[in-house]
Structure 1
Amino acid sequence: MKTPAPTVFDPARYGRVALILGGTSEERPISLRSGAAVLAALQRLGIDVTRIDPAETPGSALFEALSPARFDRAFLILHGRGGEDGQIQGALETLGLPYTGSGVLGSAIGMDKYRTKQIWGGAGLPTAEFALILNETDLEQAIDLGFPLMVKPAHEGSSLGMARANDRDELVAAWRAAAKLDSSVLAERWLSGAEYTCAILGQQALPLIQLETPHVFYDFDAKYQANSTSYLCPCGLPQQLESAYQTLCLEAFRAVGGSGWGRVDFMLDDRGSPELLEVNTIPGMTDHSLVPMAAAAAGIDFDQLCARILETSMVEAPSHG
């Protein structure tokens, strides 16, 4: 039986690609780093790619810059609000320009940790008990969960504004600090077990990564700056258990309308049971980022990973239409 010839990569089939990066969110510096890495990869692949930063082309100028007369599709590598919350996705749909990753609905829900956890709870998926803090009165609901607590802005990524609260005074301080970034703040029962992340590429869950840090939790510094963070891949779990967790993460991603590619984070509680934390619909692509690490463990190099993410713009996601 004759072996089929390998498929030849054809960069021309993607046409003219707008790489949208930067933006104006708190995560702009990370987006610029991610975007620089993706830009270099797409250029190595021979793709006709142009860098577009909404912060440099604000308002109606951005619509003109992204005209379908200039581009055939967009590769989104905007992190945080304005890029990961459905806003740019809605603009691109108005323009009729296909784009990578989740659609408007999946992006909007995935960016909102509170709504995400509500949906998971309704779908019977495990997630730690939580309370929404909109004002000082809501602090009592959070206290009822029991200390310690994890406090985080509901609409930020990269661990921005997150803090552990061990008592009421620390909870008040953590809430006030987080509220400077977001009027909606989430308090979550503290999880003491191992932390994992599951990268998703198309319909495939990539190998799990276990995260270990000497910090109190996996904060911004541990993610992007510290050299003391350990990334275990293989993660050390028995294969059957890893497969079960991968299936759980795929279900969690789809439950919020995620599609194309992304990442789901979870931790184990003190009984060793998984508790879902959050969804990232446009994860980082820096040299410290987790999706490229998981892809490498699956035999997918960075350039191939970028090509496969770009491929998600060729297939209409369920929530794009």
Structure 2
Amino acid sequence: MKEKVAVLFGGNSFEREISIKSGKEVEKVLKKYGIETYLVDTKYSPVRKLRNMNFSKAFIMLHGKNGEDGIVQRALETLNIPYTGSGVFTSFISFNKINTKKFLKSIGLPVIPYLIFQKSKIKSLKYKLLSYIIRDFKFPVVVKPNCCGSSLGISVVNSLGSLKKAIKKAFLYDDNILLEKYLFGLEYSVSILDGEKLPSIRIETDQKFYNFHAKYFSNKTRYICPGGMNLNEENELRKLSMFVYKSAKCSNFARIDLIKDINDVFYILEINTIPGMTRKSLFPMSAKRVGIGFSKLVLKILKNC
């Protein structure tokens, strides 16, 4: 039977713009190879409308809430439509930073020290109260929304005065936010395709951290692939990434983002179950290093979902 694929993209999250770019790139490839393909913007067409439309598969290119958090995955399972990426449980765990930290701790991995702030419990941000709450943290610290990707709403803070502004900013993106210890070190990204690790990427930026601007707009961000580590470090990175991938029950394709601190300890920053798929995204960059071009990558993801 000829395949008929729905590329789910757009949506109503803060990452809509990136999702649209990823979705359109995937659509181009599928149509180029003669696959009947339809772009479905879930902001205007809920997944339930796919019922009785005879789609053989869904290629999920939704980023952010209602895309990476398990909601769309559950809806597709209800409709008996196979989909790319990981399942409901993995998506739910990975998109929620608090859940991710609890999960990582449960499997014996080190977790960057953090505090949780809930919007409903903070009536006013008084300096005295903030100073008391973060008494065990030293500046700089990182403030980030619990459920948001693409580094949106994240700030690196060096003073109590800036902290108040950063908390307000993060609350614009989510009602739960985290305050983390800032780690000095090198950032890496490991892409995994069908259970096989692709070459690691070391990320260097002139920003305070790998933020939204550094990811999508800066010409000064450098990507070193492979990541330039010695053999022992590369093996450690591979084992750690695969351990997380398998323990979280990731499938099809995923990306593990990490940081190696000044003591050479790796910490997991994020488990990304729907990596970006523009031609400048990290996953295609890593695949290209081993001879898997963008079109081949898209077709492999679709075939093996």
TM bucket by the smaller chain? over 0.9
- Post-superposition shift, 1:102? 0.7
Structure 2 distance, partners of 1:258, 1:53, is 25
Q: Contact 1:80 / 1:157 at 8 angstroms: preserved in 2?
A: yes
The one-letter code matched in structure 1 to 2:79 is L
The aligned residue for residue 186 of structure 1 is 178
Equivalent residues in 2 for 1:161-176, closer than 5 Å: 161-176=153-168
Q: Contact 1:85 / 1:111 at 8 angstroms: preserved in 2?
A: yes
Q: Contact 2:279 / 2:294 at 8 angstroms: preserved in 1?
A: no
Equivalent residues in 2 for 1:42-61, closer than 5 Å: 42-58=30-46
Structure 2 distance, partners of 1:177, 1:262, is 28
The aligned residue for residue 3 of structure 1 is none
- Post-superposition shift, 1:287? 2.8
Counterpart of 2:271 (choices 279, 297, 301) is 279
Q: Contact 1:116 / 1:256 at 8 angstroms: preserved in 2?
A: no
- Post-superposition shift, 1:298? 1.7
The farther-off stretch of 32-41 and 48-57 is: 48-57
The normalised TM-score by structure 2 is 0.93
The aligned residue for residue 83 of structure 1 is 67
Equivalent residues in 2 for 1:21-100, closer than 5 Å: 21-58=9-46, 62-64=47-49, 66-100=50-84
The one-letter code matched in structure 2 to 1:221 is H
The aligned residue for residue 251 of structure 1 is 243
Query: Which runs of 5 or more structure 2 residues have no equivalent in the other structure?
Result: none
- Post-superposition shift, 1:254? 2.8
The one-letter code matched in structure 1 to 2:65 is R
1:215 aligns with 2:203: no
Structure 2 distance, partners of 1:223, 1:200, is 20
The farther-off stretch of 190-199 and 45-54 is: 45-54
Structure 2 distance, partners of 1:234, 1:45, is 30
1:105 aligns with 2:89: yes
Structure 1 residues 105-143: Cα deviation after superposition (integer angstroms, max 9, x where no partner): 111111001110111012111231111111448954444
Structure 2 distance, partners of 1:280, 1:165, is 25
The aligned residue for residue 261 of structure 1 is 253
Task: Mark the CA change 1:53 to 1:270 in structure 2 (over 3 Å): closer, same or farther.
Answer: same
Structure 1 residues 26-59: Cα deviation after superposition (integer angstroms, max 9, x where no partner): 000000001111111112222221111111224x
Q: Contact 1:120 / 1:255 at 8 angstroms: preserved in 2?
A: no
The one-letter code matched in structure 1 to 2:145 is P
Query: Which runs of 5 or more structure 1 residues have no equivalent in the other structure?
Result: 1-11, 314-321
Structure 2 distance, partners of 1:311, 1:239, is 32
Structure 2 distance, partners of 1:148, 1:69, is 52
The aligned residue for residue 159 of structure 1 is 151
Structure 2 distance, partners of 1:299, 1:198, is 16
Q: Contact 1:72 / 1:98 at 8 angstroms: preserved in 2?
A: yes
Q: Give me the identity figure in percent.
A: 39
- Give the superposed CA RMSD: 1.6
Q: Contact 2:145 / 2:177 at 8 angstroms: preserved in 1?
A: yes
Look up the SS of the partner of 1:144 in the other structure: coil
How many matched pairs? 297
Structure 2 distance, partners of 1:269, 1:145, is 17
The aligned residue for residue 6 of structure 1 is none
Structure 1 residues 142-175: Cα deviation after superposition (integer angstroms, max 9, x where no partner): 4423221111101000000000111222222211
Counterpart of 1:123 (choices 93, 96, 107) is 107
The aligned residue for residue 234 of structure 1 is 226
The aligned residue for residue 136 of structure 2 is 144
- Post-superposition shift, 1:67? 2.0
The aligned residue for residue 18 of structure 1 is 6
The one-letter code matched in structure 2 to 1:63 is R
The normalised TM-score by structure 1 is 0.88
The farther-off stretch of 73-82 and 271-280 is: 271-280
Q: Contact 1:16 / 1:71 at 8 angstroms: preserved in 2?
A: yes
Structure 1 distance, partners of 2:147, 2:178, is 9
Task: Mark the CA change 1:188 to 1:290 in structure 2 (over 3 Å): closer, same or farther.
Answer: same
